[in-house]
């Protein structure tokens, strides 16, 4: 793909382009073989957020979130993931916040499609102090295109509440996008964009992936809010360790 088209893809996502405080991550086309696993730890801190309760939702200012995620390969193009969510609020100790299950599906490269395609469904069960809806489902398509050292990913995310005050609101649209450049075999600077349609939310997140070893990657970045909607400043970090059958 030529650079003008590549830039066009990113600008398109930016015009649309959601963020989850427990998992600030644009999904890429990442397949696992049977008996291959990844273990991820997400560490996110909200430096500038809300300062008052909103219904059952606690203020997000100075919240720290820790998520543990294990994903296992089932076939060459299907895997299953499980998340365990934790959080720390000012004046409170480390506490359990919920759990999620995530089936992953990917279109085989042998289909020779113009884009790498995948789909991740997420079924979430959370405490209402962190999300007003105790149960929800998310459908996250993955569209990926590479050109030389460049890679672009787009997640047009659709989400709806299954139990809680937003159940009658139907589906919401929360797209996210990422563009990365492989500066070296170990370092890939990136720019991510998160947004939500409805209550306007736009956030730009510059960062990088550091491939510490062949099996361990550290992703980090700082999210800067572009609208008055909170959170306005978020620090994210993610460690991904791969293990199992090669």
Per residue in 16-59, pLDDT (tens digit) is 333 589 999 999 999 999 999 999 999 999 999 999 998 999 99
The end-to-end CA distance of the chain, in Å, is 31
Between CA 21 and CA 1 the distance in angstroms is 33
| pTM of the predicted model as reported, rounded to 2 decimal places | 0.89
pLDDT in tens, 96-114: 999 999 999 999 999 999 9
Question: Is 233 within 8 Å of 226 (Cβ atoms)?
Answer: no
Averaged pLDDT for residues 202-221: 97
Q: In this structure, are residues 242 and 226 in contact, taking their beta carbons and an 8 Å threshold?
A: no
d(CA 131, CA 100): 13
Reduced to 3 states, what is the DSSP secondary structure of residue 159? strand
Mean pLDDT value of segment 121-138 = 97
* Cβ 204 vs Cβ 176: under 8 Å: no
Task: With cut-offs at 50, 70 and 90, classify the pLDDT of residue 246.
Answer: confident
pLDDT of res. 13: 37
Quick one: which of 65, 60, 51, 2 has its CA closest to 238?
65
Residues 177-181: what's their mean pLDDT? Answer: 98
Indicate the pLDDT class of residue 239, thresholds 50, 70 and 90.
Answer: very high
Instruction: Look up the CATH number of the domain holding residue 227.
Output: 2.40.160.40
Provide the pLDDT for residue 183: 98
Please tell me the number of Cα atoms within 13 Å of 78 on its side-chain side.
3
Structural domain harbouring 217: 3-244
Residue 199: per-residue pLDDT:
66
Contacts 24+ apart (CB under 8 A), 4-8: 6/145, 6/147, 6/150, 6/152, 6/179
Summarize the confidence of residues 111-131 as an average pLDDT: 97
Percent of the chain with pLDDT over 70: 91
Q: What is the pLDDT of residue 228?
A: 81
The confidence score (pLDDT) of residue 19 equals 58
Number of domains in the chain: 1
Q: How far is CA 244 from CA 33, 39, 203, 215, 218, in A?
A: 9, 11, 36, 10, 19
What is the residue-averaged pLDDT of the chain? Answer: 91
pLDDT at 75 over 80: yes
């Amino acid at each position: 793909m030529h650079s003008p088209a590549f830039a066009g893809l990113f600008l398109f996502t930016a015009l649309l382009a959601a963020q989850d405080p427990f998992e600030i991550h644009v999904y890429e086309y990442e397949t696992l073989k049977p008996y291959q696993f990844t273990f991820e730890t997400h560490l996110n801190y909200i430096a500038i957020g809300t300062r008052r309760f909103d219904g059952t939702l606690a203020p997000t200012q100075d919240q720290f979130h820790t998520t543990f995620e294990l994903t296992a390969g089932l076939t060459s193009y299907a895997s299953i993931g499980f998340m365990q969510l934790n959080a720390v609020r000012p004046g409170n100790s480390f506490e359990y916040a919920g759990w999620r299950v995530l089936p992953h599906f990917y279109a085989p490269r042998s289909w020779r499609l113009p884009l790498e395609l995948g789909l991740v469904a997420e079924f979430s069960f959370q405490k209402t102090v962190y999300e007003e809806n105790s149960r929800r489902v998310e459908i996250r398509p993955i569209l990926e295109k590479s050109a030389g050292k460049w890679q672009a990913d787009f997640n047009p995310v659709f989400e709806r509440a299954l139990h809680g005050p937003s159940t009658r609101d139907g589906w919401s649209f929360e797209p996210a996008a990422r563009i990365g450049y492989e500066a070296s075999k170990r370092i890939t600077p990136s720019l991510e964009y998160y947004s939500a349609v409805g209550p306007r939310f736009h956030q730009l997140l510059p960062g990088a992936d550091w491939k510490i070893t062949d099996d361990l990657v550290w992703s980090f970045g700082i999210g800067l809010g572009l609208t008055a909607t909170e959170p306005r400043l978020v620090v994210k970090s993610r460690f991904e360790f791969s293990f199992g059958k090669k």
